[in-house]
Every structure is written in C-alpha cells, then in structure tokens.
Amino acid sequence: MPMALPSIMTGINQTLMLSLSMAVIAAMIGAGGLGAVVFRSITRVEVGPGFEAGLAIVLLAILLDRLSQNLARPSKGPERVAPRAPEPA
C-alpha cells in the first residue's frame, strides 16, 4: 500500500480537478452551485459575478490540488541528529 499511495493520490487529484471543471458544464443543464453563477454571468455578460465565481473555483482547485499533493508525499518520521564528536582541545 505505501508504494501505491502516490498513484492513488494522483488519481484522486485528477478526479477532483475534473469534477471542478464539470461544475460549469453541469450548470448548462440546470445544476446549481458556483457553476450556475459562472454560466449565468457568461450568458448575461456580467463580468463581476462571473469573475468572482470563477476565481472561487480556481482557488478551490488550487487548494484541493495542494492538499492532495501533500497527502501523497510519504511522511517523514522525526529527524535524528547524530551526536557531534567532541572537538580536540
């Protein structure tokens, strides 16, 4: 399992990114959420709300991307420092 964890987390990362991109596409068929705000803003040429909702989706994507990348890294145990040899007098 430890060797498969990076591949599994990469798959989860890609799934998260795909689901965020599908939010706007789903809004075209009547789904709600941030995608609906983006789609409505595009059709009405409302730059402000569209920018805000788009920025929220991008920030959410960045946050989830970084979180899933950090979970994929193997955790390091506490670092052990070797004792220093006494210096000659």
Is 56 contained in some domain? yes
Is 77 contained in some domain? no
Residue 19 belongs to what domain range?
A: 5-71
Q: What confidence score (pLDDT) does residue 46 get? A: 86
Spatial distance between the Cα atoms of 86 and 9, rounded to a whole number of angstroms? 46
Q: What is the mean pLDDT of the chain?
A: 80
pLDDT at 28 over 70: yes
pLDDT digit string (tens) for 35-61? 888 888 888 888 888 888 888 888 888
Q: How many domains does the chain have?
A: 1
Q: What confidence score (pLDDT) does residue 11 get? A: 86
32 confidence band (pLDDT: 50, 70, 90): confident
Spatial distance between the Cα atoms of 34 and 51, rounded to a whole number of angstroms? 11
Query: Per-residue DSSP letters for the chain?
Result: -TTTHHHHHHHHHHHHHHHHHHHHHHHTTT--SHHHHHHHHHHHT-HHHHHHHHHHHHHHHHHHHHHHHHHHSPPP----PPPPPPPP-
65 confidence band (pLDDT: 50, 70, 90): confident
